[in-house]
């Protein structure tokens, strides 16, 4: 039976009789004591009695009102219902229902009572404290009536990060000059091409000879050489610099590729053939000596890594206003597009002659089918071959490169970058790769309460690189001691921020729902809260992204000493046995989403200027790379060029 409004009011006032009976008792006691100021005393007693009546009535009516509101379908509302809160600031919320504000409610943030450090916390009185940084996802403050949980209300909160500050200690002009002095020689030496600043053209060096094994393996470091300049050109819209980069890609295509048919003809007798596709398809050759014969193949890892810089340039050109696209840039789009899409990406993604992608008979080929199978089944090969189902860096580059092309196509339909068939196949490949990435990159909570991303934990279980990872001592281990469930080492992990940003910026073109901004923030948190040792004045990084600090790549011919835990490494050794060089790269690309990374990148720049004896000793241990990590004149050290290039958007 429904209760009328009048009876509801009557019910709420029942404690009144008891309250005023108490007033009579107190008044009588007052008279007996003959208070000298009865008028004042009477008013005080009346006020006290009114307060008792008010709160007693409210508390006793709470349950009855809640039940009545539940029956009538009344809504609980929060004020404010939408609000922007600065990171780290406080905001008080008030819960009301039909104008009744003294509700007993349970406060939650994103469905968690009291909230948490990733999304913000809230007290029992509705005082919300925003997290230190925007989590990159919607934040909902909600209140639930404590006696009738079906009565609830919510408010939307937008966390506002402070503006990302410009970099100090670095300028655009000095970064370009430093790149020309420090990294351009690497581009020239690995390609045999030289730049003529007068004619603004690239041409072959007359005395350069390609290795007998082919030009493919030389592409491995080109991404690291070209990325800083590519990021600078894109961030600043430097058309001349973009033309220089476009010219290099076209010259490399013209002078350093061959065709699949030519490779098969040059393979000698009884070669092992690990390449397929049309005979006219161009690629970077690799003739690998193997057990008395030759393996005819491609260094797909090196190629896909290098091609990422060309794919990013392609999307940047497509996103430019049409009037700004020069003849040189349009020539690059026209001549390079077919090579990148048909002769490289689609041929490799849907080819069948690349068994080293997944050397496991249960995982189907082509690689796109393998990604789909692994994402849908969760299959992991048994020990000792768990790593045969890994999502490798090669695969990450292929997914990101394909996404960049889709982004370029969506940005400029007038350039006719893709036809319907190619677009459909690339989108299918990206979605398959992203689905596997999403399945293997769950969110976790770090020991200090941050939302972090676990990246491919256990993918490389049983791999020789990880055979000694369980050892954390100073001496090179001699007996294998693997540690299972690890993520990537911090050096190879530099691919993550680059690939994730490419996928985030092209997600609409690809139709993907991963990664989100929240995923980018959590990825940055993984670096900052887990791998980074925490000392911004002397920044160092543990050997594995999740914060584990064991040995890596022990007993390799190219690295005879292996990579010890960071506190025991020595970058002045030959060869360098610190992973710092890789740890510095890429992460600046996520500074726009994660202020902690922005601060860390600035610390890395500041470090280059500090040559005090204790700091110099620290830098010689961790940051030496053919020369000390110091500014010489106006020339930056190599590691700093990477840091500044990845943070190019923040240059003044």
Q: pLDDT value at position 140?
A: 97
Q: Tokens representing 142?
A: 């909600």
Angle between helices 367-377 and 393-411 (to 10 degrees): 110
Q: Which of the pair, 60 or 338, is modelled with greater confidence? A: 338
**pLDDT at residue 533 tops 50:** yes
pLDDT > 70 in the chain, percent: 87
Delineate the domains of the chain, giving CATH numbers in brackets. 5-59 (no CATH), 76-160 (2.60.40.1080), 440-652 (no CATH)
Q: pLDDT value at position 636?
A: 98
Q: pLDDT value at position 41?
A: 52
pTM as predicted: 0.86
**Cα torsion 643, 647, 650, 652: sign:** positive
The model's pLDDT over 244-270, given as tens digits with 9 standing for 90+, comes to 999 999 999 999 999 999 999 987 788
441 closest CA partner among 488, 384, 483, 400: 488
Q: pLDDT value at position 53?
A: 44
The model's pLDDT over 494-503, given as tens digits with 9 standing for 90+, comes to 999 999 999 9
CA atoms within 13 A on the CB side of 75: 6
For residue 396, what are the CA distances in angstroms to 51, 90, 305, 344, 386?
67, 40, 9, 15, 19
**pLDDT at residue 42 tops 60:** no
Which H or E run includes 422? helix 420-439
How far is residue 386's CA from residue 50's CA, in Å, rounded to a whole number? 74
- What's the whole-number mean pLDDT along residues 224-248? 97
Angle between helices 222-236 and 300-319 (to 10 degrees): 10
Which H or E run includes 154? strand 152-160
Burial of 345-374, coded b for 16+ CB within 10 Å and e otherwise, reads bbbbbbbeebeebbeeeebeebbbebbbbb
Q: Tokens representing 335?
A: 């001549």
- What's the whole-number mean pLDDT along residues 317-343? 97
**pLDDT at residue 9 tops 70:** no
Query: Which residues are registered as beta bridge partners of 76?
Result: 97
Three-state secondary-structure class, residue 610? coil
The model's pLDDT over 430-479, given as tens digits with 9 standing for 90+, comes to 999 999 999 999 999 999 999 999 999 999 999 999 999 999 999 999 99
The answer to whether 136 and 520 are in contact (CB under 8 A) is yes
């Amino acid at each position: 039976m429904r209760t009328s409004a009048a009876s509801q009011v009557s019910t709420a006032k029942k404690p009144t009789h008891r309250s005023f009976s108490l007033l009579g008792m107190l008044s009588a006691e007052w008279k007996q004591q003959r208070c000298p100021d009865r008028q004042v005393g009477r008013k005080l007693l009346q006020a006290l009695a009114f307060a008792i009546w008010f709160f007693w009535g409210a508390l006793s009516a709470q349950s009855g009102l809640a039940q009545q509101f539940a029956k009538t379908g009344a809504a609980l509302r929060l004020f404010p219902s939408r609000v922007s809160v600065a990171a780290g600031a406080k905001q008080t919320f008030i819960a009301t229902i039909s104008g009744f504000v003294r509700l007993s409610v349970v406060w939650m943030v994103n469905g968690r009572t009291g909230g948490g450090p990733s999304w913000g916390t809230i007290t029992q009185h509705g005082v919300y404290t925003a997290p230190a940084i925007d989590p990159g996802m919607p934040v909902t403050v909600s209140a639930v009536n404590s006696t009738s949980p079906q009565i609830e209300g919510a408010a939307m909160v937008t966390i506002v990060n402070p503006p990302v500050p410009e970099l100090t200690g670095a300028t655009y002009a000095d970064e370009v000059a430093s790149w020309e002095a420090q990294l351009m020689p690497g581009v020239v030496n690995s390609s045999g091409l030289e730049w003529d600043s007068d004619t603004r053209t690239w041409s072959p060096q007359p005395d350069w000879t390609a290795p007998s094994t082919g030009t493919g393996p030389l592409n491995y470091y080109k991404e690291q050489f070209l990325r800083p300049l590519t990021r600078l050109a894109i961030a600043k819209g430097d058309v001349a610099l973009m033309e220089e980069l476009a010219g290099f890609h076209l010259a490399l295509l013209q002078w350093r590729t061959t065709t699949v048919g030519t490779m098969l003809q040059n393979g000698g007798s009884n070669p092992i053939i690990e390449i397929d596709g049309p005979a006219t398809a161009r690629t970077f050759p690799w003739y690998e000596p193997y057990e008395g014969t030759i393996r005819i193949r491609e260094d797909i890892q090196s190629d896909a890594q290098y091609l990422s810089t060309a794919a990013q340039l392609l999307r940047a050109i497509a996103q430019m206003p049409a009037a700004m696209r020069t003849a040189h840039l349009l020539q690059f789009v026209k001549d390079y597009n077919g090579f990148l899409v048909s002769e490289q990406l689609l041929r490799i993604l849907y080819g069948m002659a690349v068994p080293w992608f997944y050397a496991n008979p249960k995982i189907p080929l082509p690689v796109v089918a393998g990604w789909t199978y692994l994402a849908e089944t969760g299959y992991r090969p048994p020990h000792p071959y768990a790593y045969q189902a890994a999502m490798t860096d090669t695969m990450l580059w292929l997914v990101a490169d394909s996404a960049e092309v889709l982004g370029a196509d969506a940005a400029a339909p007038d350039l006719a970058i893709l036809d319907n068939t190619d677009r459909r196949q690339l989108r299918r490949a990206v979605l398959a790769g992203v689905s596997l990435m999403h399945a293997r990159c769950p969110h976790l909570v770090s020991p200090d309460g941050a939302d972090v991303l676990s990246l491919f934990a256990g993918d490389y279980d049983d791999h020789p690189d990880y055979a000694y990872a369980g050892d954390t001592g100073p001496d090179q281990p001699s007996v294998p001691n693997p540690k299972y469930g690890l993520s990537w080492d911090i050096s190879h992990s530099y691919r993550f921020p680059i690939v994730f940003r490419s996928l985030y910026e092209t997600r609409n073109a690809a139709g993907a729902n991963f990664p989100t901004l929240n995923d980018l923030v959590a990825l940055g948190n993984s670096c900052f809260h887990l791998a980074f040792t925490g000392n911004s004045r002397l920044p160092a990084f543990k050997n594995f992204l999740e914060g584990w600090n064991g040995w890596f790549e022990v007993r390799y011919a190219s690295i005879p000493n292996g990579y010890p835990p960071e506190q025991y490494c020595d970058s002045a050794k030959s060869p360098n046995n610190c992973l710092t060089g890789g740890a510095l790269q890429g992460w600046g690309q996520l500074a726009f989403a994660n202020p902690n990374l922005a601060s860390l990148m600035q610390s890395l720049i500041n470090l280059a200027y500090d040559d005090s004896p204790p700091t110099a000793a620290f830098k010689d241990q961790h940051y030496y790379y053919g020369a000390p990590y110091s500014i010489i004149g106006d020339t930056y050290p190599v590691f700093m060029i990477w840091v500044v290039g990845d943070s190019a958007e923040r240059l003044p």
